[in-house]
Chain A
């Protein structure tokens, strides 16, 4: 099946710094992407999404960038806080398909 992977399985950052989490996807037909945050003992929590007709989308302290040419997705978190410590997943799907493929996840450690 489709493969969605991450470059860095673990990322450690200092509180207040910006974080960048990367994701590579393999299905060029994918046109909808979501970033999720999962804290220990909880289900994934929606952070931000982006459709393939966009290159960038911003939320509160988060920005998602999509590079369709190299099939790369990134999540930028500004002024990272201890509460941002979690595992982050990217997920991809093809519009009208509603079947998501998830990356293996990146663990973000925020040092106070």
Chain B
């Protein structure tokens, strides 16, 4: 079974631009979560989508948004990029069983550099 895939793997943008990252979950998984990983802040939860609805949200500004499609694929968007948005953006998918918590499996991440 194929794992979580993320595209693109690397991205370079300039301040003020916007960016869209894509995540394809493991087949059959319906929950997709996004995380930001930086050396200073570690892994921080952005949001989670389940059945095309945002179910959980972290403490990030409104510039960070996401969506999920009917095939469970998800995209996240960051508008008006800032230098501090440079990070590894990770996507994780899980079944889950009913509406509960289940193990999350991560993709390789998208490395975003903002210049």
Contact for A98 among B56, B58, B90, CB less than 8 A: B56
Complex CA gap A44/B55 in Å reads 22
Interface size class, chain A? 20 to 34
Task: Judge whether A104 and B106 touch: CB under 8 Å.
Answer: no
- Find residues 71-92 in chain A having any chain B CB closer than 8 Å to their own CB: 89, 91
Residues of chain B within 8 A (CB-CB) of A91 are 43
Tell which of A44, A94, A97 touches B106, judged by Cβ atoms closer than 8 Å: A44
Report how many A-B pairs have Cβ atoms within 8 Å.
64
Within 8 A of B (CB), among A25-51: 32, 34, 36, 41-46, 49
Interface of B is mostly: strand
What sequence of 0s and 1s flags, for each residue 25-53 of chain B, a beta carbon within 8 Å of any chain A beta carbon? 00000010101000000111100101000
Residues A97 and B103 in contact, CB atoms below 8 Å apart: no
Complex formed: what's the CA distance from A72 to B75 in Å? 35
Could you say which residues of chain A place their CB within 8 Å of the CB of B59? 1
Known: A97-B56, A98-B96. A32 touches B101 (CB 8 A): yes
* In the assembled complex, A109 has its CB within 8 A of some CB on chain B: no
Cβ A95 vs Cβ B101 within 8 A: yes
| A43-B90, A89-B43, A105-B42 known; A98+B55 contact, CB < 8 A | yes
Tell me the dominant secondary structure on chain A's binding face.
loop
Residues facing A in B47-106 (CB within 8 A) are: 48, 50, 55-56, 58-59, 90, 92, 94, 96, 99-106
Name the residue of chain B whose CB is nearest to the CB of A5: B42
Query: A102–B59 Cα gap in the complex (Å)?
Result: 14
Establish whether residues A99 and B56, one from each chain, have CB atoms under 8 Å apart when the complex forms.
Answer: yes
Instruction: Evaluate contact between A96 and B100: CB separation under 8 angstroms.
Output: yes
- Pick 6 A–B contacts, CB within 8 A, sort by A: A1-B59, A34-B104, A42-B108, A89-B43, A95-B100, A102-B35
